[in-house]
Structure formats: C-alpha cells, structure tokens
Amino acid sequence: MLYYLFDYLAENNDFWGKNLYRFLSFRAAGAMILSLLISFLFGKKIIQKLQKLQIGEIVRDLGLEGQLQKQGTPTMGGIIIILAIIVPTLLLAKIGNVYILLMLFATLWLGMIGFIDDYIKVFKKDKEGLKGRFKILGQIVLGLVVGIVMLQNDAVNLVLKESVAQEFNYEVLGPYNNTVQTLNGESETNYVVVKSTLTNVPFLKNRELDYAKLLWFLEYEQAKKYVWIIFIPIVIFIITAVSNAANLTDGLDGLATGTSAITGVTLGVLAYVSGNVIAANYLNILYQPHTGELVIFAASLIGSCIGFLWYNSYPAQVFMGDTGSLVLGGIIATMAILIRKELLIPILCGIFVVENLSVIMQVSYFKYTKKRYGEGRRIFLMSPLHHHYQKKGIPEAKIVTRFWIVGILLAVIAIVTLKIR
C-alpha cells in the first residue's frame, strides 16, 4: 500500500529520497525490519493474551528429557508469525502482483487451517485436533489454486529468446518490450513473453523440464492442452508434503523457526535472480519478470521467523502450533513452485525432507516387521529424527543448533547450484 502512496507522491511532488521505494533492496530491508519490530512489540502482548486465555500446550509423556516441563507453554504463537508476514508485505510490496497475491492467500489459508486445528486441541481438549483428511483437503485446495493460476494467468509467465520459443512452439503472449542487458554491456532485443510449464533443472546447463513432455504418449501440442493432469497433482503433492514436513519438524524449541528462516534467505536470493534479467541471463536460468516482488515477501518471512525465535528459542516461551508450522511449510513450498525451483526442494528443504522420511521409514518398517516377525521393530529410537537424538541423550539446544548448521550448509548448496551446472 505504501508503495502506491509513494508512487503517487513521487509523481506529483519533489522531495528527498522520493525514489528510494523503487529499489527492491530498500523495500526488502524495510520489510524485514518492520517484521522484526512487529514480532518484538506485539509478540509479548500476544503471548500474555494466550496465557490469560490458558491456551497452553498439551504434552504427551514420551519419555523425553525436559518434555513435561513444556506442559502449559502457550501455543498458537503462529499468529505472531502470520501478523509479522502479512503487515510488511501489504505495506511494502506491490499488492497487484499475482505472485504476492498467491503468497498472501497461501499464508492466510493455511493459517486458518492451522488455527482450527490448534483451537480443537486446546478448547475442545481433543489431542488429535482437526481430522487429517480435512488438513489434506485444505492443502489440496491451495495446490489447486496455485496450479490453476500458474497455468491460466498470463501474468505468470517467462521471457525466452524468440528462437527458443519458436523451436519448441511455446505459446507466445507477445514481444518482450524491454531490452535485455547482459553483464558485458551488450543489448539483446529478440525476446518474447511465453506461457509454458517449464521449470529449472538444477546442476544441468541449458536444461529445463517441460511438464508437458512427461505426457510422452501424446503429441506435444496435445500434451500442452492436458498438462494440468500431471502439473496440478505435482503442485498439490509438493505443497502437502512440505507443509506436513514442517509440522513434523516443529518438535523442539526453535527448530522449525530457525530452519524456516534459513530457507527464507535462500528463497529470497533465488527469487531475486529469477526476477532480475541480467542475473537470470548470466546464470542461464529462466527469467520471470515479476518474481522480484517475492523478495519482499521472503524478507517478511525471515524477519517474522527471527522475531519469533526471540520467544521460541530454548527454553521456549511460546510454541507456534499448527497455526505457524503449516503456514511456514506451505509458504516455502508455494514460493519454490512459483519461482520454478521446486526440483531444488530436496536440497532447499533438506531438514524437512529428512524429518518426514524418518517418520515414513519408521512406520513402514514397524508395520513390515510386525507382519513378518510378529513384533514391530524400529530403525530409529524414536521418530521424527530429532527425537531419536533426544533419546540418545543429546541436549535439545545442541540438536537444534546442529540442525541449523546442516540447514545453512544445504542453503549454500542450493544457491551454488545456480553456478554448478
């Protein structure tokens, strides 16, 4: 909103710094600072309100050290995260940008689902919370919205060389009117705006995946018409998997929060280079003209997570609950899909993926051995993986710090894939 206000003032008035708001870096820095301030200023008041309403965590005794001490700690703190993301984004981003609108929808939609789940757990005294099928249904709805918009909205597009668009017969929406400047100062004008289901493939130069080509049994022109059959289910799967994985990771003080902040930094970098014509051209990745605004959203995400970590670090004064964990996972998955870096998710969200896999492996192996040997056996002492290390006697704070270190390593690898191709 402030973007449009300053735009109007700059057009009609002359004042110092009137063009600062045009710089993405300035607005991103402002979004992060504002997000941190919101977390600091309103976080404590929200925690006190949750305590007054007796919205405390219900802890099941799993035999973990220090676990029962968390009984009664305020939950539903994800409200702080949502507030600290939404407000700076509304104030500093271009609200008319379709990518921003999708991210705001994902945040509010999953926040509502998570809130209902926490409400049932706390006020209805039902430890199971919202039925799993309803959570999945909500995630499917988000996946449908994201997938359909990406396929149908002409604002979600790519800019390719005209020769490439003609070679692969992509749907051309029109010429790209801006001159493409390269790092060596040369100008190129033979670019067009296209509509396609291309996505970046990490580690491979001059290689992009076209989802239409996965329908190999159809003629390419026909495959483009029916690409939604495969594209939308993939989008739904990614959003559902990452959102639930983030939920599983939220088991130790600061673990999901810190991991999400690290991932947010990586997504911000990837969104910037995808939306910057010079960087995209130099790195030989797909150029998406309007994704730069997602840097503002990523900055708000980083600020909200760091601000929430002020209260959520060990020993936690508040837990995010499903209100926050579902949102963080959904945001990360949705943004990765929008900037066409979803194939990087196994690296980008490595912590979430491993936590999720540890549960799948544990449950599957237990069922298999129970059926075959008459008694269930386990791979890990306990799942998700962070509880395995707790069972081994490693202090909670050390587990969280080590997971963060691994997360930073994975984030660096994800960024390095831009050059190692």
pLDDT in tens, 308-327: 999 998 888 899 989 999 99
Inter-axis angle of helices 78-92 and 24-52, nearest 10: 150
Residues in contact with 17: Cβ distance below 8 Å, sequence separation at least 6, in sequence order: none
- Is 213 part of a structural domain of the chain? no
Give me the chain's average pLDDT, please. Answer: 87
- Is 421 part of a structural domain of the chain? no
Instruction: Encode pLDDT of 49-79 as tens digits.
Output: 888 876 766 656 565 665 556 667 888 899 9
Helix locations, 349-395, DSSP H: 350-373, 385-391
The pLDDT-based confidence of 183 (bands split at 50, 70, 90) is low
Which of the residue ranges 42-46, 140-144, 328-332 would you say has the lowest mean pLDDT? Answer: 42-46
DSSP label at 316?
P
Q: C-alpha angle 371/377/381, rounded to 5°? A: 155
Model pLDDT, residue 331:
96
- Is 394 part of a structural domain of the chain? yes
Instruction: Encode pLDDT of 30-45 as tens digits.
Output: 999 999 999 998 998 9
In this structure, is the dihedral angle defined by the CA atoms of residues 198, 293, 43 and 114, taken in order, positive or negative?
negative
10 Å Cβ neighbour count for 369? 15
Q: Is the pLDDT of residue 89 over 70?
A: yes
What is the SS3 assignment for 209? Answer: strand
- Is 2 part of a structural domain of the chain? no
Model pLDDT, residue 15:
61
Share of the chain above pLDDT 70, in %: 88
Residues in contact with 352: Cβ distance below 8 Å, sequence separation at least 6, in sequence order: 242, 245, 246, 248, 249, 259, 329, 332
- Is 208 part of a structural domain of the chain? no
Starting at the earlier edge strand, list the strands of the sheet with 158-161. 158-161, 191-195, 171-175
Q: Is the pLDDT of residue 6 over 80?
A: no
Model pLDDT, residue 163:
78
10 Å Cβ neighbour count for 329? 31
Q: Helices H, strands E: what count in the chain?
A: 16, 7
Which of the residue ranges 170-179, 249-258, 366-375 would you say has the lowest mean pLDDT? Answer: 170-179
Range of the domain at 104: 24-155+229-416
- Is 210 part of a structural domain of the chain? no
What domain count does the chain have?
A: 1
**Mean pLDDT, to the nearest integer, of 364-393?**
90
Q: For the purposes of burial, counting CB atoms within 10 Å of the CB of 11, is it exposed (0-12), middle (13-18) or buried (19 or more)?
A: exposed
Instruction: Encode pLDDT of 379-410 as tens digits.
Output: 999 989 999 999 898 999 999 999 999 999 99
Model pLDDT, residue 172:
84
Instruction: Encode pLDDT of 105-142 as tens digits.
Output: 999 999 999 999 988 988 877 777 888 899 999 999 99
In this structure, is the dihedral angle defined by the CA atoms of residues 92, 98, 103 and 108, taken in order, positive or negative?
positive
Q: Is the pLDDT of residue 176 over 70?
A: yes
Instruction: Encode pLDDT of 252-288 as tens digits.
Output: 999 999 999 999 999 999 999 999 888 888 888 889 9
Residues in contact with 53: Cβ distance below 8 Å, sequence separation at least 6, in sequence order: none
10 Å Cβ neighbour count for 278? 13
- Is 169 part of a structural domain of the chain? no
- Is 91 part of a structural domain of the chain? yes
Distance CA 318, CA 308 (A): 9
Model pLDDT, residue 65:
61
